[in-house]
Amino acid sequence: MSTKRSILISGGLTFAMTVALIVAISMSGFTPQISTTTIPSTTSTSTTSSSATSTSTSTVTSTTSITYTTTPYTTTTITTQPTTTTSEPREEGTLSILLTDPPILPEGITEVHITYDSMAVHAAESNETHGWIEVGGGGTLNLMTLVDISQTISSVNMKTGKYNLIRFNITAAKIVYNNREYPAVVRTGNLTVPIIGGIEVKDYIPSATIIDVHPTVFNIGSKSEPDFVISAVARAYPVPESEEQPEMHRVGFRMNLGDKEWWRRLRERFASEIEVTSCSLSRTSLAATVKNTGNVSLKLKLVIISQLTTVPRTGNKTNWTPIFSEAAVFWVDEDGGLEPVMLVHNRTQTEKEAQIIFSGRGYNLTVSQQIKLTYNGEIVFGFGLPMGGTPFKPTYVMPGTEYLVTVIGDGALARTVVVAS
């Protein structure tokens, strides 16, 4: 075959392959630019390059080159037109977290200080394990200064959306009792707080929510040698947009809630309240009927029988808890039964005792439900004794004597005076 004819055939094949490639690329939606150079090559390559810039938006530009070999001496390069994609900026809004506190206390306490940290909020669309966003915030508060007062403890910018939980840790606590300072054991140090109805963080107006903490302080020691334990429950409420103030988003801002009608209605709507509707007591039995008179379910935790010689008369409902020393203490089981707690007290055992008594157990009492709590067996006074090596001398229920029966639930307390039979 002549050299001239070989060249013509080779050129024809090259032209046909090039046309076929152009048709294939055109059908894929690209407009190719073709340049042909003659270089010694027997390989094919594919490369991609990209660059990104970001101001208020981010842009990504990409260019693709395809190189292939048609003959041992001819290489064809096809370059596609650049493509650009743009992503929108993430929208953010302001969320402020406030805290208020109506504590339930033993008599003689004038200050309750807590130290807190590790605040986080939870995105409503995530499960409870995931979706937590750290918002910072930490410090020390005297809860006695937050009765009908709220204080801003965190204010952050965060992604817009709906949030349904707040979480924070109470790392330490101390009590001022009869003008002396004492440490307190915190049994509910890691609080996960539901936001009633959730809160929407928006990009055009700041949002705020108030954590309503209900701590109950117990003296599981005596008046002269106290040992304090704090157990707390909490829920949070969004602040209505119409009630928000610019100062509310400054950490440390304090707002009076006593004159806020919207706050009063919220507290009534989600009140935790119980009532002892009937009670009987003897040396070998206790029966107390308790009704949930509030608007939310709660857990009944403890029943405490105190001798009136050790406590003042204060009526049926008060805001203080009895001292455990010289009392008969029962915890409430999940099925509504009562179990006596009889521990010979030692100050070094405070943490262990707190774990047993405030272990999270209790009977779930729904709205308007009532239950008869009963115990059959000898009732002994003397929880938390002896002190300083004093011999343990328990006492028993005496017929015809008046006693104070106190029932404690999550954020709720009720009591009644009963004459023993």
Taking only the tens place, the pLDDT of each residue in 56-76 is 344 444 444 444 444 443 444
Looking at the structure, tell me whether residues 83 and 204 fall in a common domain: no
Co-location of 265 and 295 in the same domain: no
Q: Which of 33-47, 142-156, 259-273, 294-308 has the lowest mean pLDDT?
A: 33-47
Write the CA distances from 272 to 17, 208, 293, 410, integer angstroms. 83, 23, 8, 8
Which stretch of 52-66, 131-145, 195-209 has the lowest confidence by average pLDDT?
52-66
Counting the structural domains of the chain, the total is: 3
Question: Does residue 182 have a pLDDT over 90?
Answer: yes
User: Which among 244, 269, 294 is the end of a domain?
Assistant: 269
pLDDT value of position 144 = 93
123 and 265 belong to one structural domain: yes
Does residue 219 sit in the same domain as residue 96?
A: yes
Instruction: Please indicate, yes or no, whether residues 125 and 236 belong to a single structural domain of this protein.
Output: yes
Are residues 231 and 282 part of one domain?
no
Angle at 107 between CA 104 and CA 113, to 5 degrees: 60
Same domain, 70 and 129: no
Q: Check pLDDT > 50 for residue 33.
A: no
Pair (293, 408) in one structural domain: yes
> Residue 166 pLDDT > 90, yes or no?
yes
Question: Would strands 92-100 and 207-219 be described as parallel, antiparallel, or unpaired?
Answer: parallel
Q: Are residues 79 and 12 in the same domain?
A: yes
Overall average pLDDT of the 387-403 stretch: 76
Q: State residue 16 phi and psi, 5-degree precision.
A: -65, -40
- Percentage of the chain with pLDDT > 90? 49
Average pLDDT over residues 195-212: 94
Residue 401 has pLDDT above 90, yes or no: yes
Of 87, 105, 140, which marks where a domain is finished?
87
pTM over 0.85? The answer is no
What pLDDT was estimated at residue 129?
79
> Of 310, 335, 342, whose CA–CA distance to 406 is shortest?
310
Give the structural domain span for 206. Answer: 92-269
Which one has a higher pLDDT value, 421 or 341? Answer: 421
- What's the first-to-final CA gap in the chain, in angstroms? 130
Question: In the structure, what pLDDT confidence band is assigned to residue 77 with cuts at 50, 70 and 90?
Answer: very low
- State how far the alpha carbon of 282 is from the alpha carbons of 339, 377, 398, 399, 421, in Å: 16, 10, 8, 7, 5
- The yes-or-no verdict on residue 370 having pLDDT over 60 is yes
Long-range CB pairs of 64-70 (<8 Å, 24+ gap) are 68/21, 68/44, 69/41, 69/42, 69/43, 69/44, 70/14, 70/17, 70/18
Average pLDDT, integer, range 22-45: 44
Judge if 332 and 412 occupy the same domain: yes
Question: Are residues 365 and 297 in contact, defined by beta-carbon separation less than 8 angstroms?
Answer: yes
Tell me the pLDDT of the chain averaged across its residues: 78
CA distances from 99 to 116, 157, 159, 343, 391 (A): 12, 19, 22, 36, 45
Is residue 111 domain-shared with residue 217, that is, in the same domain? yes
Position 119 scores a pLDDT of 94
pLDDT at position 80: 41
CA 402 to chain centroid, in Å, comes to: 42
pLDDT of residue 388: 52
Q: How confident is the model over 272-284, as a mean pLDDT?
A: 95
> Do both 176 and 205 map to the same domain?
yes
H or E stretch including 24?
A: helix 3-27
Strands 180-186 and 149-159: unpaired
State percent of the chain over pLDDT 70. 69
Name the residue with tokens 């650009």: 84
Confidence of residue 43 (pLDDT cuts 50, 70, 90): very low
Picking from 62, 87, 112, the residue at the C-terminal end of a domain is 87
91 pLDDT tier (thresholds 50, 70, 90): confident
pLDDT on residue 360: 66
Mean pLDDT of 347-352: 56
Q: 174 with 181: CB under 8 angstroms?
A: yes
